[in-house]
A and B are shown apart, each in its own frame.
Chain A
Amino acid sequence: MSDKIIRGKCWVASGYVMAYDIVVQKFWTDPIDKALNSKFIMSGVSPEFDKENAFKDAGYTFIVAGHNFAGGGKSIEHVVTGLMGAGIKAVFADSFSRLQFRNATNYGLPFITVKDLVSICQTGDELEFNMETNTVKNLRTGETRETAPLAPFVLEVAEAGGLVEFVKQKIADGTAHMLR
């Protein structure tokens, strides 16, 4: 399997998922650390995740959600680092909160716009995300949806380990002005 194809289990949101519920208030001032931030990730979304490592141990690779994922105007980066720490490799949604979309891109976690994926997925379904063909397929049902194409720099940022490292390298090798 090429590294442009990821497979794994998905968790499907049943309603609007707010940043405040992905990371509940008592953790907002924690240091940014993927392992730490993932411990109680999603604990406000559902009582089943309100136990240490509950979401992480469920072993999801993808999140599938509807409108304005991680909205509510909270800019805390713990949302993204926590999801990454819990093993999430991509989030698909009809739309995203712009603050968290920026955080996700800056940390290298693809937040990908897909219309209405929620309607063809159930929690636990195995999905295949193909970054070359810009598609996501539900392996249980065989149904496929097109995703918005991922800009090349999103993957480069992920490979570099985040926006700061990515830009730092560009500055160091004198190519930052070429970013388009």
Chain B
Amino acid sequence: MAGMTITEKIMAYNSGRDKVKPGELVWTDVFSVMTMDYLGKSTFKSLHELGKTEVFDRERVICVSDHLVPPPTPAFATMLNEWRQVVKEHNIKYFYDLGRQGIAHQIMVENGHVLPGKISVGTDSHANTYGAVGAVGNAVSVTDAAVAMAIGKCWFRVPESVKFHITGKWQPYVMAKDLSLHIMGMMHWNGHLIYKALEYAGPAIEALDIAGRMTLCNMTVDLGAKNGIIAPDQKTIDYLRPVQKGNWEMIASDPDAHYDAVYEVDVTNIGPTVALPDKLDNVVPVEKVVGRKFNKAFVGTCTNGRLEDIAVLSQILKGKQVHPDVNFILVPASQQVYLDALRAGYITDLVEAGVAVDTPSCASCAGIHTGVAGDGDIVLSAGNRNMKGRMGSKNAQIYLTSPAVVAASALSGVISDPRLL
């Protein structure tokens, strides 16, 4: 009998089976369920429609305020108040509200609410991020999340797996984001990866810290994949040990597992990479766009708002000045990240360089909160989506790239190659 991939194993074991086949529909146990300010109230409403007033486990339904905090309008403030009340009524143990907030996906990983070999769902598309620690993370609708909250289960179609075997040596100032964008250009957002389990493996993945693995898994949703996953290793153990909210076992793909396709990528050949405005898969090496003007720089989001990303900004900007024609906004992904960056001195370096630091939230990423783009803005962003109107005005352009390219470019006011600093 052929072996199974890590995703197949996780789906099998969490549904009480020895084996599953791609295409099969199974009900699995869910380890944790995340919902947030934007959709949380509707999710709890759906829970009640199922005839339940209590969640299946008050320690495994995680509530986060991220899209609307702090509220910029009275309407948002009212929504948040209603949300808080609903969370309190359900006696939820882990409520990351304003003051302890962060982007939900960051919160879930950084506080050990997702664990290797387990399945977690959330009412937001980038729940794929959880694969960074060897979990199956999946975005679901309000109804599915309510079912999971009610009975601790969710149904899934077992996906076919695709492996990216990544070898080679990471070049200076080349980040996980560059690999993500490179693969986006290679595969296209509506291509072969639709509905697949995307597994990253190989020496260049083992070399990545958890932050980089989160960036990679995070953007698998934008590649159309069902989930992105990296087998746990010693780095995963070290990261989770102080925070884990449960026990787990190491789980990895069998050597004879079947993949729909295996792609080899050598990171030695990848340099800083940029996605041009409007289309995520319109990707070029930074050299092709060097010299283009932009006026807004943005680093944050569940893709690139982590301590390691902020460290790169500080490395490039410390003791220098952001170009006067550039407005640079940094939004740490969580209060924990913010605090760690403060303690490391990065925030001081960046504020001295002329970077505006905003309190952790999704900020302008989805175009509904602080720092949105207006008509005529050209944004150089370390976020994850660049379609027209994503960050606000439809008459703004968004280039997507790594934090290193954003920082290097912010110095000159035109897109620049960090390797030439």
- Taken together as a complex, chains A and B put the C-alpha atoms of A85 and B17 apart, in Å, by 37
Stretch binding the partner chain, chosen from B48-56, B161-169, B208-216, B374-382: B48-56
CB pair A168 B194 closer than 8 Å = no
Q: B23 an interface residue at 8 Å Cβ cutoff? A: yes
* Interchain CB contact under 8 A, B141 and A16: no
- Would you call A98 and B27 a contact (CB within 8 A)? no
**Chain B residue nearest in CB terms to A148:** B23
Q: Given A103-B141, A106-B141, A177-B151: A168 and B51 within 8 A (CB)?
A: yes
Instruction: Please name the residue on chain A nearest to B139 by beta carbon.
Output: A99
A171→B147 CA distance, assembly (Å): 10
When each residue 81-99 of chain A gets 1 if its CB lies under 8 Å from chain B and 0 otherwise, what string results?
0000000000000011111
Query: For residue A166, which residue of chain B has the nearest CB?
Result: B147
Q: Does A135 count as interface, using CB distance less than 8 angstroms?
A: no
B140/A102 in contact, CB under 8 A: yes
Residue among B25, B51, B155 making CB contact with A172, cutoff 8 Å: B51
Kindly list the 6 A-B residue pairs having the minimum CB-CB distance in the complex, ordered from nearest.
Answer: A151-B25, A179-B27, A176-B151, A148-B23, A68-B194, A168-B50
Are A180's CB and B157's CB within 8 A? Answer: no
Q: Of A67, A75, A171, A180, which contacts B51 at CB under 8 A?
A: A171
Number of A-B contacts (CB under 8 A): 79
A103 to B139, CA, bound (A): 13
Chain A contacts for B141, CB-based, 8 A: 75, 77, 99, 102-103, 106
For the complex formed, measure the closest distance between the CB of B388 and the CB atoms of chain A, giving whole angstroms. 13
Residue of A nearest to B146 (CB): A164
Show 30 A/B contacts (Cβ-Cβ < 8 Å), sorted by A. Answer: A71-B190, A71-B194, A77-B141, A95-B194, A95-B195, A97-B194, A97-B195, A98-B157, A98-B194, A98-B195, A99-B141, A101-B157, A102-B140, A102-B141, A102-B144, A153-B27, A163-B147, A164-B143, A164-B147, A167-B50, A167-B150, A168-B51, A171-B52, A171-B150, A176-B150, A177-B153, A179-B153, A180-B15, A180-B16, A180-B26
Check: B256 CB closer than 8 A to any chain A CB.
no
Tell me the smallest distance from the CB of A167 to a CB of chain B, in Å.
5
A164 near B190: Cβ-Cβ < 8 Å: no
Q: Does A10 contact B (CB under 8 A)?
A: no
CB-defined contacts of A177 to chain B, threshold 8 Å: 151, 153
Interface residue ranges, A against B (CB under 8 Å): 16, 67-68, 71, 73, 75, 77, 95-99, 101-103, 105-106, 113, 148, 151, 153-154, 163-164, 167-168, 170-172, 176-177, 179-180
Contact between chains at B151 and A179 (CB < 8 Å): yes
Chain A residues within 8 Å of B226, by CB: 98
Give the distance to chain B from A106, nearest Cβ to Cβ, in Å. Answer: 6
The contact string, 1 if C-beta is below 8 Å from chain A, for chain B 179-198, is: 00000000000100011000
Report B-chain residues with C-beta under 8 Å of the C-beta of A103: 141
Nearest CB in chain A: distance from B384 CB, A: 12
**Residue interface mask B122-143, A partner, CB < 8 A = 1:** 0001000000000000001101
B273 close to chain A: CB less than 8 A: no
Instruction: Give bound CA distance, A163 to B140, whole Å.
Output: 13
Cβ–Cβ contact A164 & B27, under 8 A: no
Q: Nearest-CB distance from B145 to chain A (Å)?
A: 11
Q: How large is the interface on B (under 10, 10 to 19, 20 to 34, 35 or more residues)?
A: 20 to 34
Question: Is B46 interfacial (CB-CB < 8 Å)?
Answer: yes
Hey, which chain B residues are within 8 Å of A153, CB to CB?
Answer: 25, 27, 155
Q: Most chain-B Cβ atoms within 10 A of its Cβ — which of A16, A75, A179?
A: A179
Q: Given A151-B25, A153-B25, verify A164-B151 contact (CB < 8 Å).
A: no
Bound CA span A177–B298, Å: 46
What separation, in Å, do the CA atoms of A97 and B224 have in the docked complex? 8
Instruction: A73 to B366: give the CA distance in the assembly, Å.
Output: 14
What distance in Å separates the Cβ of B160 from its nearest Cβ neighbour in chain A? 10
Inter-subunit contact B27/A16 (CB<8 Å): no
How distant is the Cα of A176 from the Cα of B155 in the complex, in angstroms? Answer: 12
Contact partners of A96 in chain B: CB under 8 A: 195
- Within the complex, the shortest CB–CB distance from B20 to chain A, in Å, comes to 11
Q: Which residues of B contact A99 (CB under 8 A)?
A: 141
| A154-B51 CB under 8 A given contacts A95-B194, A105-B155, A179-B153 | no
When the two chains form their complex, are residues B27 and A167 in contact, meaning their CB atoms are under 8 A apart?
no
Query: Given A163-B143, A176-B151, do A171 and B50 touch, yes or no (CB 8 Å)?
Result: yes
The complex places the Cα of A167 from the Cα of B149 at a distance, in Å, of 12
Additional A-B contact list (20), CB under 8 Å, known A68-B194, A179-B153: A67-B190, A71-B194, A75-B141, A77-B141, A95-B195, A98-B195, A102-B141, A103-B141, A106-B143, A113-B23, A148-B23, A151-B24, A164-B46, A167-B50, A171-B51, A171-B150, A176-B150, A179-B27, A180-B17, A180-B26
Contact residues in A for B50 (Cβ distance below 8 Å):
164, 167-168, 171
Which residues from A are CB-within-8-Å of B25? 105, 151, 153-154
Kindly list chain B residues whose C-beta atoms are within 8 Å of the C-beta of A148: 23
A170, B153: Cα distance in complex, Å:
12
Q: Chain B residues with Cβ under 8 A from A102's Cβ? A: 140-141, 144
Residues of the B chain whose Cβ atoms lie less than 8 Å from the Cβ of A77: 141
Q: How far is the CA of A95 from the CA of B27 in the complex (A)?
A: 21
Contact with A along B21-57 (1 / 0, CB 8 A): 0011111000000000000000000100111100000
The answer for the CA separation of A135 and B147 in the assembled complex, in Å, is 31
